Amino acid sequence: MTRNLVGLLMASAFMAAAPFVRAHEGEDHSGAGLAVSAPTSPTAPLHVPIETQFLAQIGTSPARRETVSRTLRVLGRTLVRSEREAIVTAPQEGRLIATKDYAMPALGEFVKRDQIIAIVEESITAPDLVTIATERARAASELRQAEASLTLARREYDRLTKLAGIATDKDITAARNELEVAKAKRDGYVEQVALLDNASTTGVLAQKRRVIRAPLDGAIARTHVTIGENVSRDKPLFYIVDTAELLVEASVFENDVASILAARRAFFAVEAFPGESFPARIVSRGVAIDEKTRALPVLFAVSNSEGRLFGGMFGRVYIETGAEVSGVAVPKSAVVDLDGQPMVYAKTGGEQFTPRPVRILERLSDRLVLADEGTIKPGDRVVVQGIYQVRMSKPLPVAGDSPAK
């Protein structure tokens, strides 16, 4: 039984090896047979059927020759100009109220200079109330004394006028003057008591409204209060900013400082608006290199009349240095990184796309300038949309190879 099992195993092994033996017979050892299994060249043309191009919405754009200014790229962050921002605080303790002809502005709402943005109904504090009550008591006491003096002065004057033939004119005139003085003093205390009564009437807090106006044109960037809230003195109510023009803060490394000195123009770009840039101008630059970063601080001004930029946004500043460079310009989306090598995909036939390595000379906000080394020439159409679908396509078969199944 053991011999039969061994024989069966040997027969199975021979049958499994038989196809390989037959295949080896007559095999070409020149190496041509290995061409199909050889690794594909990264620049081999790719086959993309028309149907795939349509469904994947593969788009192309023509390359063109262009001469541009040499550009320095630095990171930047938008800032609100200090003279175009304001923190509005409460001038007095009280409660925020609404009226029929006024509504508190909401977050992001634009307000004009001198526009009413809050109304505070002030309340007298307890210490002030005690002071007012004390002053009123004193004024009331002096009023009573003034009224008593006025009564005596009036009696004396009436008595002397009845003795007109006996009393001298000098005495009558003196009595009249004392009466007028007593009357004026009484009237002054009456007015003082009335004013104190307006501030506090029998212990009930009197209230008055304080109108708060916007100190500048701008938008409500932050709001910290609601209608009906009690606020304390100097509590921040609103943060108003005017973003019609923003600053962009950037740092230029020490090796690139010469580019700043020769700069002609600059542009600011953010990822929120791909393919767009905002003109910028140099406002000021520092006078010392930062010891830690070895960079020079530079401020740019960017017009923002449409309000598309916001404070605190990060982006890139493109600074034209004055020098020029010539090459082949393509949209930024046309260049991809393939294992560290910049690459574009050129449409070289109706259904054929060829990867071509390139060298980048200049990076602009919306396009790249490539070295004119023959890989991409002016007029070549390069893929700008659907590059992934092109990269995943099958390479065209090499002449002499059997077509891929």
CATH number at residue 248: 2.40.30.170
Nearest to 281 by CA among 305, 262, 265: 265
For 263, phi and psi rounded to 5 degrees? Answer: -65, 140
CATH number at residue 171: 1.10.287
Domain-located, residue 285: yes
CATH number at residue 55: 2.40.420.20
Q: What angle do CA 244, 248, 253 make, to 5 degrees?
A: 165
159 with 143, same domain: the answer is yes
Q: pLDDT: is 249 or 122 the higher one?
A: 249
255 with 298, same domain: the answer is yes
pLDDT, tens digit, for every residue of 196-207?
A: 777 665 444 445
pLDDT for residue 22: 39
**Residue 68: which pLDDT band, with cuts at 50, 70 and 90?**
confident
147 with 262, same domain: the answer is no
237 with 299, same domain: the answer is no
Report the half-sphere exposure of 34 (CA within 13 A, side-chain side): 5
237, 86 Cβ separation under 8 angstroms: no
Amino acid, single-letter form, for residue 104? M
- pLDDT at residue 386 above 90? yes
Low-confidence winner among 45-54, 158-167, 208-217 (lowest mean pLDDT): 158-167
Highest mean pLDDT among 141-150, 201-210, 291-300, 395-404: 291-300
CA distances (Å), 263 to each of 248, 323, 326, in order?
Answer: 16, 9, 19
255 with 365, same domain: the answer is no
280 with 308, same domain: the answer is yes
> What is the rounded distance in angstroms from the CA atom of residue 119 to the CA atom of residue 216?
17
257 with 319, same domain: the answer is yes
> What is the rounded distance in angstroms from the CA atom of residue 90 to the CA atom of residue 182?
44
234 with 296, same domain: the answer is no
Domain-located, residue 20: no
Specify whether the backbone of 366 is left (phi greater than 0), alpha (psi in -120 to 50) or beta: alpha
130 with 97, same domain: the answer is no
pLDDT for residue 199: 64
157, 114 Cβ separation under 8 angstroms: no
Highest mean pLDDT among 36-45, 74-83, 181-190: 74-83
CATH number at residue 107: 2.40.50.100
225, 87 Cβ separation under 8 angstroms: no
Cβ-Cβ contacts under 8 Å for 193 (sequence gap 6 or more): 136, 139, 140, 143
Residues 166, 168, 171, 174, CA torsion sign: positive
319 with 343, same domain: the answer is no
Tokens of 371: 């070295």
pLDDT, tens digit, for every residue of 132-141?
A: 778 878 888 8
pLDDT for residue 127: 65
Last residue of a domain, one of 301, 324, 347: 324
Last residue of a domain, one of 289, 324, 359: 324
> What is the rounded distance in angstroms from the CA atom of residue 7 to the CA atom of residue 182?
148
Range of the domain at 88: 84-123+214-241
- pLDDT at residue 18 above 80? no
Q: What is the mean pLDDT of residues 322-350?
A: 91
Alpha helices in 102-164 (DSSP H): 126-162
pLDDT for residue 204: 44
Last residue of a domain, one of 287, 303, 324: 324
- pLDDT at residue 343 above 90? yes
Hey, which bits of 135-244 come out as E strands?
200-201, 204-205, 207-213, 218-223, 230-231, 236-241
Nearest to 277 by CA among 154, 342, 217, 367: 367
Specify whether the backbone of 284 is left (phi greater than 0), alpha (psi in -120 to 50) or beta: beta
Q: What is the dihedral of CA 139, 145, 150, 156, to 10 degrees?
A: -170
Most distant CA pair in the chain, distance: 175
- pLDDT at residue 126 above 80? no
pTM here is 0.55
CA distances (Å), 327 to each of 70, 276, 343, 344, 355, in order?
Answer: 12, 21, 16, 15, 19
> What is the rounded distance in angstroms from the CA atom of residue 300 to the CA atom of residue 285?
9
110 with 251, same domain: the answer is no
237 with 119, same domain: the answer is yes
Indicate the average pLDDT of the chain. Answer: 81
Domain-located, residue 186: yes
**Residue 46: which pLDDT band, with cuts at 50, 70 and 90?**
very high
Q: Are strands 295-303 and 314-331 parallel, antiparallel or unpaired?
A: unpaired
Element (H, E) at 76: strand 64-80
Number of domains in the chain: 4
75, 103 Cβ separation under 8 angstroms: no
Q: How far is CA 134 from the centre of its chain?
A: 54
Domain-located, residue 39: no
Q: What angle do CA 126, 127, 130 make, to 5 degrees?
A: 85
